[in-house]
């Protein structure tokens, strides 16, 4: 069986892995972090863009519109929450209006359905809390929201259920081409063979490409800071609210999330350090100020739950860099609208491989369905009681703020891809994501991880590596 | 559906006191629902002393104080469901709860006492810039790790916020071998009790840096240090005052908020200042038959007062169940801003009433004044009043007669 | 006549009220205590200027690998807190433990007793 190596387990690597798990292949995903979804996938706007933003004819436009079209189906197969809440790009003056008309036309030519510029009265009817100063908006009914790491985890989980291997803590340090194929080596001396290699390494994809002699592009990180608010604020707006893009950039968006929180951001600062995911006081202040301009009476930042920063992988070509050469495929420079494009990119990469001579034989046992992990939370009382009767752990609430049971946490630790640390449990179950940010449930979650993984309590980490929670016993 | 005359949500000091008081007032068909696997609530991890002087005339530790009440609950055979989480309460007093043996079940109650306590303000609300490494804990989580689990979060500690739990943890971690480098407080005064500054910081030469905050967090995996800075009167960091402190642990003790999600689900109106329900002198909320007491009503600094307040709620609920709680008037209580809030916020029948309050800033040489219209019905001079310390005013029935609205204020 | 009277301002730690105390003393003789509203404050002030005392609370290891909360039955000399901690850290309590059980006797002039039921 042919061996395919995917470098990177962000949403792009994950969707590609799942696409390839349909076929009789030996697919292995190599991830340098201790969990999947640790790069840009972990911290972005969580938006499925309608597709009016990207330049006509670009890869971004093609992938975005196709991906956005596929997303609902993919999410339903993977049991991932998807809400088509529609988006509104709001304008404050005539200059904005002209830009909105231009975006509307561009969107239509990209193939986006239902686009319309609406006036203040209709805007206010759709979004009563929008700033009184907004005069018009571009309404895109196909815009949607999805949780990017939930999609990534579900996608790689489904791929693993269908036979894909995931190797964590494997940082690819060199790639050698031999007669027998590629040899991937990690910094610590582990090696792996592959007939085809897919580079989905996010902000490091230029570095990976260079290992094969491909110096055709550069990727730099762009900092995006976000502030997440309590679910109490989740109904501030129902649509995703963008500002009219200007020379100053796309501006700050305000959007509900699929879990009912309110998300605001991102800032946009080009960086050099690919590891610097720190937030800045200036950035946070700027983003909060700008977000408040969009909402009449401002955004209730007193109800902030957390602020965080993501690094977007910005290529130097102005477009996605997706190509294949002698069995090595780049899926690089996947900045916004990368999440929206992910399902389409996965299909496109499959085509590239096929064109490169990889024979694709459908796997009879392939199961596209992954049971929704939020199923328990959304079940009726009767259904929940049946589950609790079978497994009492579902009756024991561990995370009080988000009402997450021990059963759900154990499931996250036991199922593909297994949660190995506190943040991993948090991303999979929301335990610790609520108002107390893990203050109550943290020690319990640590105990469950220690017990399930058979490790000592003091070895449990927040997010792998040296991120220990305790340094040892008091006595 | 299961029915109960009285369901008490929470088996901490408030829930236990309320249950005992209601039982002693004749209520037998009652149930305490507790989410943890033992009674006592947060007191179980508060192993320091200083509890109970007011109630019992002796200095107890948290678990000892809790045990006094647990023993009584057991003696009276008051039914308790442990490891049971209440998921929802409705306006018509249907309680939905879950545990591993019963699954999800509902109880229709005649009266409910809310005694869920409070939680710590999360760090996110602070929006500190920098990375998000491990080593950052709420003081309460560190307390649980050290006192209940027996694990040390770290060796070199900075504490942000001078709330009492933070101060107590400064001493606890010092005694357990850690070095506490500083306690930073954003405000120009401490949020904790003076005695805790004395015995938890001064005893160990731990500096309390007032008007200081943490402006940056360093370290990508585990915390490696914090940058602190002075703040101006508007609480903004002053440039040039930054100081780096190497540490592996940052404890956040920036205050407590009543945990009122269930209260909201029942449709009870909350006081924007306390974060708890609006109540009358019986601690009855605006929904008849739903009572609230302890830290879920407003954050207390003394558990003794929690017990006292819970007894009021317990007796109130008993009277309500017997049909004896009939409002005869509606006197509202307002504050002048210098006094931040009062509990209760309204008085609905005749009798003596103790009104608890907190001030909004540090005041010296002020008279606590209660006015009914133009008449001063209470006045007392205080040398010092601080936001960290709850005060109490006892108003007698004769003074309250005929009052429509009371205004609590500080006067010269 | 030389006046050797010294004055110290203290915050009383006996109860959460935290009275501000003014103590006047000469050598080991306390002359006056002001600011206290109860007799315990006076006792505290006297001790504090002559030989400060504290209750120590901590945990001791239990035989099952966990911990149980303990305290000094009486206050001990403040200077001896870390000496007391060393003793506390050296012992392993066997289970079950009941509130009030003596875990270690004669430590800095008092006993270490359990403040929690365990086992």
Tens-digit pLDDT string for chain C (119 aa): 457 888 988 888 887 777 889 999 998 889 999 988 888 889 989 998 889 999 999 999 999 999 999 999 999 999 999 999 999 999 999 999 999 999 999 999 999 999 999 98
Is the Cβ of B150 closer than 8 Å to some Cβ of chain C?
A: yes
The enclosing domain of C108 has a CATH number of: 3.10.530
Q: What φ, ψ does residue A452 adopt, rounded to 5°? A: -65, -40
The domain ranges of chain A are 85-145+220-312, 375-459
pLDDT value of residue A84:
97
The answer on pLDDT for B123 being more than 80 is no
Q: Could you give the C-alpha distances from B300 to B102, B192, B258, B293, B360, in angstroms and in order?
A: 34, 11, 10, 10, 15
Q: How far apart are CA A12 and CA B307, in angstroms?
A: 56
| A474 touching C (Cβ < 8 Å) | yes
- Residues in CB range of B94: below 8 A, 6 or more apart: B1, B106, B107, B108, B109
pLDDT at A416: 97
CATH class of the region A85-145+220-312: alpha beta
Contact between B145 and A439 using a beta-carbon 8 Å cutoff = no
C17/B389 touch (CB, cutoff 8 Å), yes or no:
yes
Chains that touch B (3 or more CB pairs under 8 A): A, C
Cα dihedral: A311, A312, A318, A324 (round 10): 110
Nearest Cβ partner for C11 among B53, B67, B195: B195
Could you give the 3-state DSSP secondary structure of residue B298?
A: coil
A228 to A284, A310, B254: CA distances (angstroms)? 11, 13, 19
**Cβ–Cβ gap B130/A279 under 8 Å:** yes
- What are the two backbone dihedrals, phi and then psi, of residue B286, each rounded to the nearest 5 degrees? -70, -15
Q: Which CATH architecture has domain A375-459?
A: Orthogonal Bundle (1.10)
| pTM as predicted | 0.91
Residue A243: its pLDDT value, please? 94
CB-based contact, A472 to chain C, within 8 Å: no
- Taking CB atoms and an 8 Å limit, are A473 and B176 in contact across chains? no
Q: Looking at residue B126, what is its pLDDT?
A: 63
- Is the domain of C38 the same as that of C85? no
Handedness of CA A442, A445, A449, A455 (dihedral sign): positive
The Cα of B273 is separated from the nearest Cα of chain C by a number of Å equal to 23
- List CB contacts (< 8 A) between C108 and chain B: none
d(CA A430, CA A452): 19
Helix B303-321 to helix B13-24 angle (10° resolution) is: 40
CA closest to B88 among chain A residues: A403
pLDDT per position as a tens digit, B255-308: 888 999 999 999 999 999 999 999 999 999 999 999 999 999 999 988 999 999
User: What CA–CA distance (Å, rounded) separates B142 from B171?
Assistant: 12
The predicted pLDDT at position B130 comes to: 83
A278: phi then psi, degrees, rounded to nearest 5: -85, 145
Nearest C-alpha neighbor of B111 from the set B327, B355, B344, B325:
B325
**pLDDT number for residue B124:** 53
- B314-366 per-position pLDDT tens digit: 999 999 999 999 999 999 999 999 999 999 999 999 999 999 999 999 999 99
Whole-number Å distance between alpha carbons of B244 and B221: 18
**Residues C107, C88 share a domain:** yes
Q: Which domain holds residue C33?
A: 6-50
Last residue of a domain, one of C30, C50, C70: C50
- Walking along chain A (475 residues) 10 residues at a time, the average pLDDT comes out as 97 98 98 95 95 94 97 97 97 96 96 96 97 97 97 98 97 96 94 98 97 96 93 94 85 94 94 86 91 94 88 94 97 96 98 97 97 83 94 94 93 96 94 82 95 96 95 93
Residue spans of alpha helices (H) in B151-284: 164-175, 194-196, 261-265
Token duo for residue B332: 């509202």
Q: Are residues C54 and B67, on separate chains, in Cβ contact within 8 Å?
A: no
Smallest CA–CA distance, residue C116 to chain A, in Å, is 18
Q: Do domains A85-145+220-312 and A375-459 have the same CATH topology?
A: no
Specify the pLDDT at position B131.
Answer: 84
Q: Is residue C119 one of the residues assigned to a domain?
A: no
Chain B residues with CB under 8 Å of C57 CB are 47-49, 61
- Counted domains in chain C: 2
The model's confidence at residue B125, banded by pLDDT at 50, 70 and 90, is: low
Q: Which comes out higher in pLDDT, residue B87 or A187?
A: B87
Q: Please check whether residue C17 lies inside any domain of the structure.
A: yes
Best of C18, C38, C92 to substitute, by most chain B Cβ atoms within 10 angstroms, is C18
DSSP classification of residue A130 = B
Q: What is the mean pLDDT of residues B6-34?
A: 98
A92 touches chain B (CB under 8 A): no
Distance from CA of B149 to the nearest CA of C (A): 7
Interface of B with C in 174-193 (CB under 8 A): 175-176, 193
For the record, the structure tokens of B284 come out as: 């009855």
Taken in order A93, A94, A98, A104, the sign of the CA dihedral is positive
Which pLDDT score is estimated for C2? 55
Same-domain status, C42 and C67: no
B133, B221 Cβ separation under 8 angstroms: yes
Q: Is B373 helix (H, G, I), strand (E, B) or coil?
A: coil
Residue of B nearest to C116 (CA): B63
Q: Is B128 helix (H, G, I), strand (E, B) or coil?
A: coil
What is the per-residue pLDDT for B384? 85
Please tell me whether residues C40 and C76 are part of one structural domain.
Answer: no
Residues of C within 8 A of B49 (CB-CB) are 55, 57, 71
Distance, in Å, from the CA atom of B187 to the CA atom of B180, rounded to the nearest integer, reads 20
Per CB-CB distance under 8 Å, the chain B contacts of C78 are: 203
Partner B, chain C 52-111, Cβ-Cβ below 8 Å: 54-59, 61, 66-67, 69, 71, 78, 81-82, 85, 99
**Do residues C67 and C40 both lie within one domain?**
no
Biggest CA–CA distance in chain C, Å, is 66
pLDDT at C106: 94
Say yes or no: B61 contacts chain C, CB-CB below 8 A.
Answer: yes
Predicted complex ipTM = 0.91
**Per the domain annotation, does C1 fall within a domain?**
no
Mean pLDDT, chain B, whole residue set: 94
Q: What are phi and psi of B326, to 5 degrees?
A: -110, 120
The single residue listed with the structure tokens 């642990």 is B249
Provide the β-strand partners of residue B292: B114
Cα atoms found within 13 Å of the Cα of residue A427, Cβ hemisphere only: 25
Which of A226, A234, A278 should one mutate to test binding to chain B, selecting the residue with the greatest count of B CBs within 10 A?
A278
State the pairing for strand pair A26-30/A3-7. Answer: parallel
Name every residue whose Cβ is closer than 8 Å to that of residue A372 and which is 6 or more positions away in sequence.
Answer: A79, A80, A378
Contacts of B124 (CB under 8 A, 6+ apart): A228, A304, A305, A306, A307, A437
Domains and CATH numbers, chain B: 1-120+256-326 (3.50.50.60), 122-254 (3.50.50.60), 327-412 (no CATH)
Residues of A noted as catalytic: 49
Asked if the model's pLDDT at residue B235 lies above 70, the reply is yes
């Amino acid at each position: 069986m042919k061996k395919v190596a995917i470098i990177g387990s962000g949403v792009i690597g994950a969707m590609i892995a799942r696409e390839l798990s349909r076929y009789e292949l030996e697919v292995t995903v190599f991830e340098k972090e201790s969990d999947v979804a640790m790069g840009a996938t972990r911290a972005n706007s969580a938006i499925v863009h309608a597709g009016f933003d990207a330049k006509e004819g670009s890869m971004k436009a093609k992938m975005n519109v196709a991906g956005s079209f596929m997303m609902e189906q993919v999410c339903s197969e993977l049991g991932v929450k998807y809400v088509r809440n529609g988006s509104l790009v709001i304008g404050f003056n005539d200059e904005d209006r002209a830009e909105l008309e231009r975006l509307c036309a561009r969107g239509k030519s990209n193939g986006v359905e239902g686009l319309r510029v609406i006036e203040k009265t209709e805007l206010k009817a759709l979004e009563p809390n929008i700033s009184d100063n907004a005069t018009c908006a571009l309404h895109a009914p196909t815009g949607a929201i999805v949780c990017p790491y939930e999609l990534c985890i579900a996608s790689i989980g489904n791929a693993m259920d269908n036979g894909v291997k995931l190797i964590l803590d494997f940082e690819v340090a060199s790639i050698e081409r031999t007669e027998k194929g590629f040899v991937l080596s990690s910094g610590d001396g582990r090696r792996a063979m592959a007939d085809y290699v897919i580079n989905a390494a996010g902000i490091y994809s230029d570095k990976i490409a260079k290992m094969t002699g491909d110096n055709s592009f550069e990727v730099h990180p762009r900092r995006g800071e976000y502030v997440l608010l309590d679910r109490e604020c989740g109904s501030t707006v129902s649509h995703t609210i963008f500002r009219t893009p200007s020379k100053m950039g796309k501006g700050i968006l305000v959007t509900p999330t699929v879990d009912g929180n309110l998300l605001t951001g991102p800032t946009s600062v080009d960086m050099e350090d690919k590891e610097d995911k720190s937030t800045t006081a200036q950035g946070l202040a700027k983003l909060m100020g700008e977000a408040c301009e969009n909402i009449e009476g401002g955004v209730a930042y007193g109800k902030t739950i957390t602020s965080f920063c993501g690094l977007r992988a910005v290529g130097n070509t102005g477009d996605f860099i997706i190509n294949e050469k002698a069995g090595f495929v780049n899926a690089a420079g996947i900045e916004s609208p990368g999440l929206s494009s992910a399902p389409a990119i996965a299909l496109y990469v499959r085509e590239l491989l096929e064109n490169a001579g990889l024979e694709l034989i459908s796997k009879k046992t392939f199961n596209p369905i992954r049971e929704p992990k939020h199923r328990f939370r959304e079940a009726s009382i009767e259904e929940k009681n049946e589950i609790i009767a079978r497994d009492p752990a579902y009756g024991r609430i561990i995370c009080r703020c988000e009402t997450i049971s021990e059963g759900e946490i154990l499931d996250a630790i036991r199922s593909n891809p297994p949660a190995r640390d506190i943040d991993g449990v948090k991303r999979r179950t929301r335990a610790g994501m609520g108002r107390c940010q893990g203050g109550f449930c943290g020690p319990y979650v640590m105990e469950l991880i220690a017990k399930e993984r058979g490790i000592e309590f003091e070895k449990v980490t927040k997010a792998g590596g040296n991120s220990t929670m305790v340094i040892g016993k008091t006595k | 559906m299961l029915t109960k005359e009285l369901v008490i949500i929470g088996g901490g000091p408030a829930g236990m006191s309320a249950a005992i008081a209601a039982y002693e007032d004749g209520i037998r068909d009652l149930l305490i629902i507790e989410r943890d696997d033992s009674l006592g609530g947060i007191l179980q991890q508060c192993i320091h002393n200083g509890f109970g002087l007011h109630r019992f005339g002796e200095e107890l530790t948290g678990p000892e104080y809790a045990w006094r009440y647990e023993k009584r609950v057991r003696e009276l055979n008051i039914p308790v469901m442990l490891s049971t989480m209440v998921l929802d309460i409705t306006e018509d007093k249907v309680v939905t709860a879950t545990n591993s043996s019963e699954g999800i079940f509902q109880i229709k109650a005649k009266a409910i006492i809310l005694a869920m306590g409070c939680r710590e303000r999360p760090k996110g609300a602070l929006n500190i810039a920098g990375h998000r490494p491990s080593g950052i804990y709420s003081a309460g989580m560190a307390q649980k790790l050290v006192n209940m689990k027996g694990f040390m979060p770290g060796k070199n500690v900075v504490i942000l916020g001078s709330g009492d739990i933070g101060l107590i943890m400064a001493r606890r971690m010092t005694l357990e071998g850690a070095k506490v480098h500083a306690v930073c407080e954003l405000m120009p005064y401490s949020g904790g009790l003076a005695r805790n500054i004395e015995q938890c910081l001064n005893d160990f030469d731990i500096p309390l840096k007032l008007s200081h905050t943490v402006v940056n967090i360093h370290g990508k995996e585990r915390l490696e240090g914090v940058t602190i800075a002075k703040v101006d009167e508007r609480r903004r960091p002053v440039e040039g005052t930054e100081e780096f402190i190497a540490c592996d642990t940052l404890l956040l003790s920036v205050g407590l908020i009543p945990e009122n999600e269930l209260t909201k689900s029942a449709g009870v109106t909350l006081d924007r200042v306390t974060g708890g329900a609006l109540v009358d002198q019986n601690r009855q909320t605006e929904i008849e038959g739903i009572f609230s007491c302890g830290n879920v009503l407003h954050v207390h600094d003394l558990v003794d007062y929690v017990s006292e307040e819970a007894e009021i709620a317990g007796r109130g609920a008993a009277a309500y169940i017997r049909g004896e709680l009939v409002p005869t008037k509606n006197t509202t209580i307002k504050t002048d801003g210098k006094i931040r809030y009062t509990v209760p916020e309204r008085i609905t029948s005749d009798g003596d009433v103790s009104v608890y309050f907190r001030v909004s800033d540090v005041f010296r040489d002020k008279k606590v004044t209660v006015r009914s219209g133009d008449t001063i019905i209470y006045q007392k001079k205080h040398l010092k009043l601080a936001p960290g310390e709850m005060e109490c005013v006892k108003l007698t029935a004769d003074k309250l007669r005929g009052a429509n609205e009371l205004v609590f204020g500080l006067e010269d | 006549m030389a006046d050797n009277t010294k004055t110290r301002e203290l915050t009383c730690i006996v109860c959460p009220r935290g009275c501000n105390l003014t103590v006047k003393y000469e050598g080991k003789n306390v002359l006056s205590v002001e600011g206290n509203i109860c007799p315990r404050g006076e006792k505290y002030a006297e001790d504090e200027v002559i030989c400060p005392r504290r209750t120590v609370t901590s945990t001791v290891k239990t035989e099952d690998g966990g911990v149980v909360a303990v305290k000094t039955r009486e206050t001990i000399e403040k200077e001896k807190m870390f000496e007391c901690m060393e003793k506390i850290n050296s012992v392993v309590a066997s289970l079950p433990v009941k509130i009030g059980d003596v875990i270690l006797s004669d430590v800095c002039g008092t006993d270490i007793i359990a403040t929690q039921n365990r086992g």
